[in-house]
Amino acid sequence: MKEDSAAKNAKNRIDELTDAVNYHNYRYYMLEDPVISDFEFDKLVKELAVLENAYPEYIREDSPSKRVGGAVSEKFGQVKHNIPMLSLDNAYSKDEVTEFDGKIKRFLGYDIREEIDYECEFKFDGLAIELVYKNGIFVQGSTRGDGVTGEEVTANLRTINTIPLKLQKDISYQKNISYIEVRGEVLMDKKGFKRLNEERLEEGLSLFANPRNAASGSIRQLDPEITSRRNLIMFAYGVGDYSKEIKFETQFEIMSFLRTAGININKNIKVVKGISDAIDFFDDIEKKRESLPFEIDGIVIKVNDLKLQERLGEISKSPRWATAYKFSAKQEVTGITGIEVSVGRTGILTPVAILNPVNIGGVIVKRATLHNQDETSKKNINIGDRVLVERSGDVIPEVVKVVFKGKKAGAFKLPDFCPCCGSPVVIDGAAHRCMNELSCPCQIKGAIVHFASKRAMDIEGLGEKIVGKLVENGLIKNVADIYYLKQGDLSSLEGFGEKSEENLFNSIEKSKNISYDRFIYALGIRHVGEHIADLLVKYFGDVNGIKSAGIEELSSKFGIGEEIGKSIFNFFRLNSNLAVIERLFKAGVSPYIINVSISAENSKIAGKSFIFTGGLKDFTRDEAENIVREMGGIIEKTVKKKLDYVVAGGEPGSKYGKVVKLKLNIINEDEFKELIKK
């Protein structure tokens, strides 16, 4: 009996919490007007997670925990759309838009001077999807596909925060709608797109050509976990089929209804009288376009009155009552006069096309990126070709495709040797890379700044500006040279007094005595961050130990993957790198190994993994992490499915949301202190 009432209480509380979390999620993501603090919100989520863990039978279909953990599928199912998802006709000029208006009036038998109400909204450049809500609960999501049949991607769409799992009860309509199909576009914002491609380049993966492809690729992932990491946004633009408890008279009413039901609607919607006002709206938006956080490719103009929409109907798979008024393409054709190879701060070789200067949307473009060898080969681009170049927003112009092949057959090939230092180039996934990290002049400034940075050798006063001056004046060519600077070398530089020289020499001296993991991290080996540096020292000891390990051993030992293993292995194969390390030691750099085994043996946390989020009261982040390391624990920097402890302090960061979703073991500062008690 007693158990029954406990279960009943749990069920009630799960219901309450699910509703509360969904509501606050709506306030936060859709209205951007939260009414509780992040901390309070997280408390609700945490309580819900605990209860759901204990009573999985009461987890509701619209539970926020359903946003993750969907099963990885082998293949997408098919969904037939109740009402086909039509595509829009395009218009590219004022004349074409005016003709669209004229046709409508003729079809309806209106006088040409009569004005029609149009609803204008953004034309998003994303992936069209359909969401089905039954009794307010999100039950199925699909892609547009060919308009008639799409792919079933419910689990992936669930991971998107701007897609509510449950509709808000509509206040103005005073009832729930029992069935509705919401149509929208899923997109990735410009920032997210840039970051994703940077990450992919780092990881040696092929790049996405534009945010639309990135969004589409992210939704069409068999593993929802990957989708959840992509920061996608959904904006709705209309409805498909719906139960008729609610009557709409205009397109604008539909959008207002969706908005109050908690569906994400872009704010830039306007009902105008007559086509000339729609054109004004377009001109206005075109000016704002570059400053928007996401890509749009124009506006959509829809007849606002639904009765008129019905009368107008459709013609060859496009509605007669709507058109997409597109921005003129920011693309032009020009010739490639040369291809330069630039070497970035991380050693990646990038082919850059030198163009016959061309005016694209008011900007003279002289260079465009070819991204990497894969892209160049795939598009078969070479010097002398006439190509289509595209410029969009703040992204570097890129060559889209060849329109006329020049005399040179085949694609341009990146050199086998670094154009900057002559070292052999190593193919690292999609990246071609100069591995001469410690001496290549193109990489050297970045390498030295990293070496001296706070978390590495911590040489105070050796920031970007001074490093730049030292390298430009030929005073240092690699990181070892720092320790061979002589008195007077620095004070000869502009803006550098004797006092500051003395200070710098002091911190250089101090840096010679540093823990071994920080020394390894400071070397800036590709893919070796603090965490992996720490593991390398734990498993292999010093430089000699790491150097003598094979790729297989490096990769398999702690499951870091072959990519990273290879990069470490190659680093220690290059004589110039070994020479620099040798000179560092000769100059008196003598890193020490912290012996963790004694204290770690008896510790409760040996071998356990930790991640910290938010600020602690009694420790700095570094202190807390060092304690964990010294007791034999492992510090993780990114949230993953397998983590033993998440230590959450005040005002936890973005990691926290993921942690909660993954139902990880969250502890507070007091519990952490208890753990590390000797």
CB-based burial of residue 248 (10 Å sphere; 0-12 exposed, 13-18 middle, 19+ buried)?
middle
Binding of Zn ion at residue 434 (CB under 5 A)?
Answer: yes
In whole angstroms, how close is the CB of 425 to Zn ion at the nearest point?
Answer: 8
Beta-carbon contacts of residue 21 (< 8 Å; ≥ 6 apart): 41, 44, 45, 48, 64
Q: How far apart are CA 470 and CA 375, in angstroms?
A: 37
Q: How far apart are CA 310 and CA 346, in angstroms?
A: 58
Give the strands of the sheet with 117-124, arranged side by side.
89-91, 322-326, 296-303, 117-124, 270-273
Mark the segment that binds Zn ion (CB under 5 A) among 97-105, 414-422, 492-500, 577-585.
Answer: 414-422
In whole angstroms, how close is the CB of 428 to Zn ion at the nearest point?
Answer: 14
Q: How far apart are CA 95 and CA 102, in angstroms?
A: 10
Q: Smallest Cα–Cα separation from 60: which of 103, 100, 18?
A: 18
Mark the segment that binds Zn ion (CB under 5 A) among 106-114, 223-231, 254-262, 433-441.
Answer: 433-441
CB-based burial of residue 381 (10 Å sphere; 0-12 exposed, 13-18 middle, 19+ buried)?
buried
- Beta-bridge mates of residue 534: none
Structure tokens at 629: 């390391």
Interaction mask 463-482, Zn ion, x per CB under 5 A:
--------------------
Decide whether 289 or 345 has the Cβ nearer to Zn ion.
Answer: 345
Binding of Zn ion at residue 418 (CB under 5 A)?
Answer: yes
What part of residues 555-574 is at the interface with Zn ion (CB under 5 A)? none
Decide whether 40 or 340 has the Cβ nearer to Zn ion.
Answer: 340
Whose tokens are 């219901």? That residue is 15
In whole angstroms, how close is the CB of 439 to Zn ion at the nearest point?
Answer: 8
In whole angstroms, how close is the CB of 478 to Zn ion at the nearest point?
Answer: 12
Beta-carbon contacts of residue 19 (< 8 Å; ≥ 6 apart): none
What part of residues 438-457 is at the interface with Zn ion (CB under 5 A)? 440
Of 436, 478, 570, 577, the one binding Zn ion (CB under 5 A) is 436
Decide whether 342 or 500 has the Cβ nearer to Zn ion.
Answer: 342
Decide whether 312 or 349 has the Cβ nearer to Zn ion.
Answer: 349
Binding of Zn ion at residue 161 (CB under 5 A)?
Answer: no
Cβ–Cβ < 8 Å for 14, 157:
no
Cβ–Cβ < 8 Å for 132, 138:
yes
In whole angstroms, how close is the CB of 285 to Zn ion at the nearest point?
Answer: 45
- Strand, coil or helix: 386: strand
Total number of residues that touch Zn ion (CB under 5 A) = 7
Mark the segment that binds Zn ion (CB under 5 A) among 366-374, 377-385, 426-434, 515-523.
Answer: 426-434
Decide whether 210 or 436 has the Cβ nearer to Zn ion.
Answer: 436
Known active-site residue 123: yes
In whole angstroms, how close is the CB of 50 to Zn ion at the nearest point?
Answer: 53
In whole angstroms, how close is the CB of 466 to Zn ion at the nearest point?
Answer: 23
In whole angstroms, how close is the CB of 432 to Zn ion at the nearest point?
Answer: 11
Check 66, 123, 302, 379 and give the catalytic one: 123
Structure tokens at 678: 């000797």
Q: Smallest Cα–Cα separation from 291: which of 269, 268, 271?
A: 268
Q: How far apart are CA 266 and CA 271, in angstroms?
A: 14
Cα dihedral 215, 562, 422, 381 sign: negative
In whole angstroms, how close is the CB of 429 to Zn ion at the nearest point?
Answer: 18
Q: Long-range contacts: 363-371, Cβ < 8 Å, 24+? A: 363/391, 365/332, 365/334, 365/389, 365/391, 365/397, 367/340, 367/397, 368/396, 368/397, 368/398, 368/399, 369/396, 369/397, 369/398, 369/399, 370/339, 370/398, 370/399, 370/412, 371/207, 371/398
CA torsion, ordered 355, 358, 361, 365, to nearest 10 deg: 40
Decide whether 451 or 619 has the Cβ nearer to Zn ion.
Answer: 451
Which residues are annotated as catalytic? Answer: 123
- For Zn ion, the binding residues (CB under 5 A) are 418, 420-421, 423, 434, 436, 440
